[in-house]
């Protein structure tokens, strides 16, 4: 299986590593908007200018798109779905139906197969929501995120005047989790489910009181939550908060006859959010490769993919070892 | 979607209730080996002698087999897969490949579709093993069961001379779970993963010391574990241990670049093992109904079924609300 990567940030490097963990796959090319000779990568794949990507049609089984959801993927996924089988991690939940339409049309146009919005949320969390809802139709869903770094919230702090750098952890409220697990079907405000903890590096002479106030009162991002702000040095930030951990919990509680209660819980605890997302992208690239061999075209999501397609084992091995 | 049930024990009653929670389904008949007029059921479905089941071909979309794995399903699933689309909860892991072959041949013979070995283990736990293995190829799997009633272990105690009744709880060792969650990749003995707690009612004048000794030294069942035995009255057993709770944990820990650790955990906490299993059977009956409409035949497992087929929602609704 010959894989291409478009975009060599955290996600692209994660995909490169994940491919090395899967012997049935080979990374053949990394496509970049940068000057290819300026880009050092960790494998022996070719580094190719994005301008030359069209010449790689027919030479790549699946192209994994490793750009961002804000501006890259809405353009890139439909564009390259016309030329290649593609997989992306588009995570703007509200825009997924639109993105799906665009990619579906393009992929059918080019007779290719695409899978959008995989990773862990959307992705594995979505799968667990679906399975749990189908099994317990009378019940309630909860998704908690963290403990982990929220890129969006960290960026929001960095835009405040006087802030040099910042990292923000989203933290689920343990008591809220416990209430859910007891099957009490609580209804929560945002504040009751998550807290936010911020580590902030300021410029010399910056007004810390004003910055803390600006963070805590920022609408949508911080105002609806209990937020803690710590001012630390750049060194401490790099040393103690240099990772990109994340994770979370998807819980559904539901009832069957005689008011019997059932709790289905799925959780992830990830040292590296982008590397884990990359590992999911790579497993779905295998599925897309196989389904395209079966003649499938158009756009798919994780909901459309039978689990067996993700595994390198045969159906017989799976039944024998994992069922 | 017209559903039939074969067998009206705990599982069959659970399926009957689960169907009532799914408005797109209708229970049309319960087939029984007993005299139909002796069987009172909780719905308006017809109660039919198993001898007359052949007359129901063409009138039932999916027949849900609610017998036991020891002697019922190995015979019934192949037999009825020739006449109907069927779903079963066959849970003898080692014999699954043989059962699969038998059911696959029969279903193809009769041009029907069958799904075997669904429920939670095998079933949802299997799915989580597969997904987690595909995503983290370098890692380690752990399955813990409980806290819950083990039917097999309870039965084993009941066979001891002087025992009137017994319930056995399988309990995961909390410290073992914590070690796994930390990504320490431990290797466990059976004793380190689970303890066994027994509640035993004895006949008048029975030798409790001898019974306790016989339980604790029983090979395979209890000898490899730390086992606690409580002698209680029949009233206390019925009052405090009348339920059939169960559950457990499937955990995979794995590494990506730079030794970063990831933990995927799936857990169930079920007030009623058979009612939850029934709910899973019913969701997969929906999938089998739909896939049979698409022309599929032969035997499937949970690995072969794209998640969307389990849900009553349309693909568009799923993408909009659950992705």
Predicted confidence (pLDDT) per residue in B76-109, tens digit = 999 999 999 999 999 999 999 999 999 999 999 9
List, for residues B282-312, the tens digit of each pLDDT value. Answer: 999 999 999 999 999 999 999 999 999 999 9
The Cα B225–Cα B81 span in angstroms is 40
What ipTM, to 2 d.p.? 0.97
- Nearest C-alpha in B relative to A261: B271
List, for residues A167-208, the tens digit of each pLDDT value. Answer: 999 999 999 999 999 988 999 999 999 999 999 999 999 999
Contact list, A261 vs chain B (CB under 8 Å): 271
**Contact across the interface for B131 and A130, Cβ inside 8 Å:** no
Tell me if chain B has a CB within 8 Å of the CB of A262: yes
Is the C-alpha dihedral spanning B81, B83, B88, B92 positive or negative? Answer: negative
Residue A204 — φ and ψ, nearest 5°? -55, 130
Which pLDDT score, from 0 to 100, does residue B207 have? 97
Assign B194 a pLDDT band (cuts: 50, 70, 90). very high
Contact list, A280 vs chain B (CB under 8 Å): 135
**pLDDT, chain B, mean:** 97
- Region A83-109: mean pLDDT is 97
- Region A270-296: mean pLDDT is 98
Inter-CA distances, B117 with A83, B9, B65, Å: 41, 18, 11
**Contact across the interface for B256 and A322, Cβ inside 8 Å:** no
Tell me if chain A has a CB within 8 Å of the CB of B138: yes
- Nearest C-alpha in B relative to A269: B263
Residues 17-76 on B with a CB inside 8 Å of A are 17-18, 21-22
- Nearest C-alpha in A relative to B99: A319
Strand order in the sheet with B46-49: B46-49, B26-32, B2-6, B62-65, B86-87, B113-115, B298-300
N-to-C CA span, chain B: 26
List, for residues B12-58, the tens digit of each pLDDT value. Answer: 999 999 999 999 999 999 999 999 999 999 999 999 999 999 999 99
Give every CB contact of residue A8 below 8 A, 6+ residues apart in sequence: A16, A30, A32, A39, A41, A66
Nearest partner of A93 among B319, B206, B315, B11, judged by Cα: B319
Report if pTM > 0.90: yes
Closest partner residue to A271 (CB to CB) among B13, B260, B319 is B260
The Cα A165–Cα A202 span in angstroms is 7
- Nearest C-alpha in B relative to A266: B266
Q: Compute the nearest-CA separation of A280 from chain B (Å).
A: 5
State what percent of residues in chain B have pLDDT above 70. 100
Which pLDDT score, from 0 to 100, does residue A104 have? 98
Model confidence at B258: pLDDT above 90: no
């Amino acid at each position: 299986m010959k894989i291409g990567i478009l975009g060599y940030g955290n996600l692209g490097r994660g995909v490169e590593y994940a491919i090395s963990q899967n012997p049935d796959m080979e990374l053949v090319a990394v496509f970049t908007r940068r000057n290819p000779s300026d880009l050092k990568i960790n494998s022996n794949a070719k580094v190719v200018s994005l301008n030359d990507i069209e010449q790689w049609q027919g030479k790549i089984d699946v192209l994994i798109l490793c750009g961002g959801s804000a501006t890259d993927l809405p353009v890139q996924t439909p564009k390259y779905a016309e030329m290649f089988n593609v997989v992306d991690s588009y995570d703007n939940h509200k825009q997924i139906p639109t993105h799906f339409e665009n990619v579906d049309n393009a992929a059918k146009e080019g007779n290719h197969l695409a899978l959008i919005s995989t990773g862990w949320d959307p992705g594995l969390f979505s799968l667990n929501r679906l399975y749990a809802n189908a099994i317990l139709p009378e019940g309630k869903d909860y998704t908690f995120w963290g403990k982990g770094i929220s890129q969006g919230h960290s960026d929001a702090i960095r835009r405040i005047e006087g802030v040099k750098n910042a990292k923000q952890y989203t933290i689920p409220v343990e008591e809220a989790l416990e209430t859910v697990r007891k099957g009490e079907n609580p209804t929560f405000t945002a504040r009751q489910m998550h807290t936010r903890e911020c580590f902030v590096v300021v410029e010399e002479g910056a007004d810390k009181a004003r910055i803390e106030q600006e963070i805590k009162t920022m609408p949508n991002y911080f105002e609806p939550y209990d937020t803690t702000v710590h001012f630390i040095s750049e060194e401490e930030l790099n040393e103690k908060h240099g990772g990109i951990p994340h994770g979370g919990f998807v819980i559904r509680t539901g009832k069957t006859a005689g008011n019997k209660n059932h709790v289905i819980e799925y959780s992830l605890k990830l040292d590296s959010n982008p590397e884990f997302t990359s590992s999911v992208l790579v497993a779905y690239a295998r599925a897309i490769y196989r389904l395209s061999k079966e003649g499938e075209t158009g756009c798919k999501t994780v909901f459309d993919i039978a689990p067996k397609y993700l595994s390198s084992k045969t159906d017989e091995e799976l039944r024998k070892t994992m069922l």
